[in-house]
Structure 1
Amino acid sequence: MSFSQALSGLNSQSQKLGTIGNNIANSQTVGFKGSNVQFSDVFANSRVGLGTRVSAVLQNFSEGNIESTNRSLDLAVAGEGFFRYMDTSGEVVYSRNGQLNMQSNGDLVNAQGFQIMGYGLNAQGQVQVGGQPVPLNVSAEELEASATTNTSTVLNLDSRKNISDDLSVAEVGGTEISYHYANNFTVYDSLGNPVNTTVYYEKVGENLWQAKVVADGNYDADNDFMMRFNSNGTLVGVGDVIDQAVFDNVESEQAEVDAYNSFLEELAGLEDELDPMAPPAMGAELQAALADGRLNPRAGSTEEADINEVIADLMSATPTLADYDAVFTALADGDAGVGTGVAGLASAQTQLDAAVLARTQAIAGLTGSQQALTFNSTNGAEDVNFNLNLAGSTQFGNSSTVSSLTQNGYTSGTLVGITIDEDGTIMRNYSNEESRPAGQIALVSFRNPEGLTPAGDNVWRASAESGQELVGAPGTGLLGGIVSGAVETSNVDMARELVDMIVAQRAYQANSQTIKTQDELLQTAINLR
């Protein structure tokens, strides 16, 4: 008689029950992966089998449920991948358990003291993705203050405002600043001191606004700048203030041209009044005087007053030949004093054209959307230098308002906590509301996860069967993302395990019954003596 088949069955089912018991025992272990026993029959060149044996114990790496813990250092992998740890001996191990603790030195470790690994920072403080994974550490150093270098604001300036009308006035250091709209923001100097900054906007021309900047109650006209919009209300350019003389020259030259034209019109009217009444010789002389420029068209001159007086006399009485002589005498005297009117008009028009061109070129010089501003420091910090970017600003017929405002400066801050993003980036949060990365947790995948070797403490080691590790950032390739404030529960199905335990128990009992039967048969054979 042979007891080997039954014994093999007992041994195999015993291992089956042991596996089931281990699964049930770890049903509440975070990140635990249950195992299944595979059996195979045994033949040794015999027609009857020699029983069974355990051919393999395979791990089930299906995902467990993700449960929220509301603890920021509890992590779960949503998808494929393993956390990469360095154990206390310096060996790399892998786990699906992301329950971390921060030690006093900033190391992030699990309950066994294994330090989680990922990508560190480069010299610029940025995550070095793709580099060699290293144990991650969260530095507790304070964040140094950073001076503001760039400020961006998007605003609308009310196009319905009229030049020099409906102005408000602010007094700054004895200087009165008139404006149509003002907005303020805070920038920081090199010591992290806040500098309250106000920009006053005044409409000074067609589609032109002038801005005056005040920092902590200090006004420096060198920081004034202008904004130019097109007819569609879009910002065209920003630049230094255009010299007021550029605008004044256009007005004065236009006034000069208008004066010449007005007086020439008066002289033409004089010709119309005198010509029908004058003898032919006088009419011809008057026309010749008009043609060769021997007349004085300069408005405001002494000769003009004389001519106007004579004209008034001619209009009030019947002119005589002496009156005509007086007119021509006055005209001749005016010509000797100021030159020809036609030449003067041409010269004034040339100067007006030049003034208009200078104004056009000055306005066209307002390009770009950024203006550099500088303020002297009074508290030992470096001078405040920053660029104000106004890209996207408009001039529409709506109330003036700011829709966006950002700046890149900040005061110093102390570490108040950390958060971990879905891509595994560990962010250090500071008291000044700034955040900086401390590194990025890496995930690892294997071609054959079932080939990993269990090492206890809910970790595995790589083996020849599992293949080499494939390291990457969470959320890339086949790797899942990281869920902060949650853990992955065991994937053990308790109901299934209990059913499997009943089946294994019955199989164990059946094998023991085979031994009992074999024993009875053996006892019968012995009793044959």
Structure 2
Amino acid sequence: MGFQQGLSGLNSASKFLDVVGNNVANANTVGYKGARAEFADVYANTLASTNVQVGIGGRTSAVAQQFAQGNITSTDNPLDIAIQGNGFFRMIDPAGSFSYARNGQFQLDREGYIVNNNQKLAGYAANSDGQLITGATPQAIQIQTSNIGAQATGGSALSDAGLTLGMNLDARKPIINRGTSTVSVTGARLANAAGTSPVNYTTRVTDSTGQFHTLDVRLTRAAPQTWTVETQLDGAGGFSQTATPLTFSTPGGQITSGGTQAVSYNLSSPAPAYGTTPMNFNLNFAGALEVAAAAEAPGTVTVNDTAALNTTVQISSSNLDPADPVTTPHTYSGSYLDGNGVSHTIDITLTKAATNTWVPTIDIDGAAFPIVPTPASIVFNTNGQMVAGSPIAITGAPGAVNFSVNLQGVTQQTGAFTAGTVQTRSTPPVVATDPSSYTHSTSATVYDSQGVGHTMTFYFAKVGVNAWEVQTSFDGATPVTQPGYVTFDAAGNMNGGTEFAYTSPIPSPSGAQTPLAFNTYFTGTTQFGNQFGVNELSQDGYADGNITGLSIGKDGIILGRYSNGQNRTIGQITLYNFANPQGLQPLGDNRWAESYASNQARLGTPGTSDFGTLQSGAVEDSNIDLTKELVDMITAQRSYQANAQTIKTQDQILQTLVNLR
């Protein structure tokens, strides 16, 4: 009968209208996925021939979810998140049950959890260092609002922890000639006991081309209160004795002769095409003492480098033992960096020639440096004070290295000679208020362990064709006395001095950990014929700060922005997918539950495998095509009317049969 078919058609059309109406009602629902009514015909079971069987109507076989991508709309809420591609958010209800959603309209609750409709968003947490804990089961993400603690510069675990400064140093700038340089000799003594060795000093000096040479000065006790002075340059030719020994009046007395002695050494290598101006050196032992004592004091070596390229090697606060035999010289060693950044060693050896008289010799890079007049002697009085032989002048012709060695403060005391360590300076500290004492300068802020910022100023002085000296100042204090050097090849690329260790010279007034120590990297620094400019400046220290905002990357990583300019990972949003998303069970509130038909949820992170990416500050609109739904509504209406007409026609046929009686 036609009534059965018509009635089933009315039911199917009504269901179709229900689905279309629900889609239209949710056209503006964020994350909503439209449904589609699916129909099937109905046949009665029969044993009759199938070629004459007529169906008995239709039925709604399924209402299938359609998980096509919806449009992405930007919002003003940075916590709004849209999924671009496959995947669902996992939501955790107050009872701990899971559901899944595409609705990314999130906000923070009073405890800092990211929530939607009282459902908490799941993901990976991060530890206090900002490292994701990916090995754990994803939990509800909680945004910690506590402050981020301070970190001292150089305190991170990064391989390049510290300060990075990349720049261009102007190759067109002239070489700066400097005044006095100091080489500190610590823990060294000039012993004057019988059988001890000469005292050697080693430092480095530069010629007018900026090339380095090693100067060795050797003091040897020749007699009580008398020391011979020998010099050697670049380790060649052996030690040459100066004309006047260093003589003291008495142990503890002043120098009586040999206080200043000239030494000359001609360079063995040809002078550069642009010429070499002689360097004048004086060995200066003024103020040295020869005093009997149980221990010998440490000393310093000073190189005075004037505009005329006269350099003084200063040796002070060191002691020669009056009991030292003639046969045992003592050597002081230092180093010097030339204008091209080449390191040279200076050895100054003192050998006792007579009582209170020591003869110096000088070696530079292992080569002897002739002393004029020869021999030079350092003389002490009976009180151990140097009375002669300092400084010792070493003057050369064009192409020669000329210098002086100053043993200011050297004393003669009873006790064994002990060699010490040497620290060098090629130039004196720059004067911040005198731009002529440096070529370029720039500043950076660094932080101590309590987050207190300090200004670190870098001064760059061109000391050679391809060499620059680097001095630093901390909070406006006098620049540190131990400089660094950066050197370049002929193409202007750095080939030396890319990394320096730095220790602050003054305690922090905040009471933070002292001293502040970190590495400074000049990686990427060049020397081109262009104006000075800083291309990169970064450091890993910071003050403490409170959270000021959040940002979410396409990979789901949540970054906290802090008032100290730092960003730190707070967590990562995870996504889930299913073998059959259409098998998910709708729960309402734009959420679905896992079911047998959908299979188990599969965990992933945004942008990996087949998972989509995230877009922060946006939401995914409903995937409903309203125009299509209106057309489907008309179709459903016509279908309903047609099926009603089938019933009406069947009624008219029955009425005709009734009227036949």
TM-score, normalising length from structure 2? Answer: 0.57
Distance 2:442 2:620 in 1: 51
1:405 aligns with 2:405: no
Which residue does 2:421 correspond to in 1? none
The 3-state SS of whatever aligns with 1:99 is coil
Which residue does 1:138 correspond to in 2? 143
Distance 2:100 2:587 in 1: 9
The 3-state SS of whatever aligns with 2:463 is strand
Q: Tell whether the 8 Å contact from 2:547 to 2:563 is kept in structure 1 after alignment.
A: yes
Give the partner amino acid of 2:559.
M
Query: Cα distance, 1:423 vs. partner?
Result: 1.2
Per-residue deviation, residues 84-106 of structure 1 (Å, max 9, x unmatched): 21123322111111010111211
The 3-state SS of whatever aligns with 1:3 is helix
Runs of 5+ unmatched residues, structure 2? 47-52, 155-161, 180-427
Which residue does 1:432 correspond to in 2? 564
Give the partner amino acid of 1:62.
A
The 3-state SS of whatever aligns with 2:473 is strand
Q: Select the residue among 99, 105, 124 that pairs with 1:99.
A: 105
1:369 aligns with 2:538: no
Which residue does 1:18 correspond to in 2? 18
- Cα 1:223–1:8, aligned 2, differ >3 Å: closer, same or farther? farther
1:58-69 aligned at under 5 Å gives the runs 58-69=64-75
1:283-302 aligned at under 5 Å gives the runs none
Q: Select the residue among 528, 544, 554 that pairs with 1:422.
A: 554
- Cα 1:394–1:525, aligned 2, differ >3 Å: closer, same or farther? same
1:422-461 aligned at under 5 Å gives the runs 422-461=554-593
Which residue does 2:133 correspond to in 1? 128
Query: Cα distance, 1:417 vs. partner?
Result: 1.3
The 3-state SS of whatever aligns with 1:500 is helix
Give the partner amino acid of 1:12.
S
Q: Tell whether the 8 Å contact from 1:68 to 1:485 is kept in structure 2 after alignment.
A: yes
Per-residue deviation, residues 313-367 of structure 1 (Å, max 9, x unmatched): xxxxxxxxxxxxxxxxxxxxxxxxxxxxxxxxxxxxxxxxxxxxxxxxxxxxxxx
Which residue does 1:55 correspond to in 2? 61
Which residue does 2:528 correspond to in 1? 396
Q: Percent identity?
A: 44
Per-residue deviation, residues 170-193 of structure 1 (Å, max 9, x unmatched): 646x99992121111100111111
Which residue does 1:163 correspond to in 2? 175
Which residue does 1:38 correspond to in 2? 38
Distance 1:59 1:522 in 2: 42
- Cα 1:412–1:123, aligned 2, differ >3 Å: closer, same or farther? closer
- Cα 1:401–1:503, aligned 2, differ >3 Å: closer, same or farther? closer
Runs of 5+ unmatched residues, structure 1? 239-367
Per-residue deviation, residues 125-170 of structure 1 (Å, max 9, x unmatched): 2123464221111110011111111000012223333333599996
1:495 aligns with 2:627: yes
Which residue does 2:511 correspond to in 1? 380
The 3-state SS of whatever aligns with 1:94 is strand
Query: Cα distance, 1:443 vs. partner?
Result: 1.6
Distance 2:35 2:129 in 1: 46
- Cα 1:170–1:58, aligned 2, differ >3 Å: closer, same or farther? same
Query: Cα distance, 1:462 vs. partner?
Result: 1.7
Give the partner amino acid of 2:142.
N
Which residue does 1:183 correspond to in 2? 442
Q: Tell whether the 8 Å contact from 2:584 to 2:592 is kept in structure 1 after alignment.
A: yes
- Cα 1:444–1:130, aligned 2, differ >3 Å: closer, same or farther? farther
1:227-376 aligned at under 5 Å gives the runs 227-238=486-497, 369-375=499-505, 376=507
The 3-state SS of whatever aligns with 1:191 is coil
Give me the CA root mean square deviation: 2.5
Structure with the higher fraction of residues in strand conformation: 2
Distance 1:4 1:190 in 2: 86
- Cα 1:426–1:506, aligned 2, differ >3 Å: closer, same or farther? same
Distance 1:114 1:219 in 2: 61
Distance 2:482 2:31 in 1: 62
Q: Tell whether the 8 Å contact from 1:223 to 1:374 is kept in structure 2 after alignment.
A: no
The 3-state SS of whatever aligns with 2:147 is coil
Query: Cα distance, 1:109 vs. partner?
Result: 0.6
Which residue does 2:605 correspond to in 1? 473
How many pairs align? 398
Give the partner amino acid of 1:157.
L
Q: Tell whether the 8 Å contact from 1:95 to 1:460 is kept in structure 2 after alignment.
A: yes
Q: Which of structures 1 and 2 has the larger relative contact order (alpha carbons within 8 angstroms, sep 6+)?
A: 1
Query: Cα distance, 1:66 vs. partner?
Result: 1.1
Structure with the higher fraction of residues in helix conformation: 1
Distance 2:436 2:451 in 1: 28
